[in-house]
Amino acid sequence: MIVFHISTITLMMKNIEFTLQTKVKQTKMKQMKIKQKITIL
């Protein structure tokens, strides 16, 4: 049971890390788009 518990925790951590990374990528993309708009203006 303990080993299973640890594995589930690591999976959750990896999942959280992944979601955070995707969010960061999305925000970076938004920033880039905004910069492009500014340069066009």
Q: What is the pLDDT of residues 7-24, one digit of tens each?
A: 888 999 999 999 999 999
Q: Is the pTM of this model over 0.75?
A: no
| Per-residue pLDDT, 20 | 94
Exposed/middle/buried for 10, CB within 10 Å: 0-12, 13-18, 19+?
A: exposed
Q: What is the pLDDT of residues 22-41, one digit of tens each?
A: 999 999 999 988 888 878 76
Cα(32)–Cα(36) distance, integer angstroms: 6
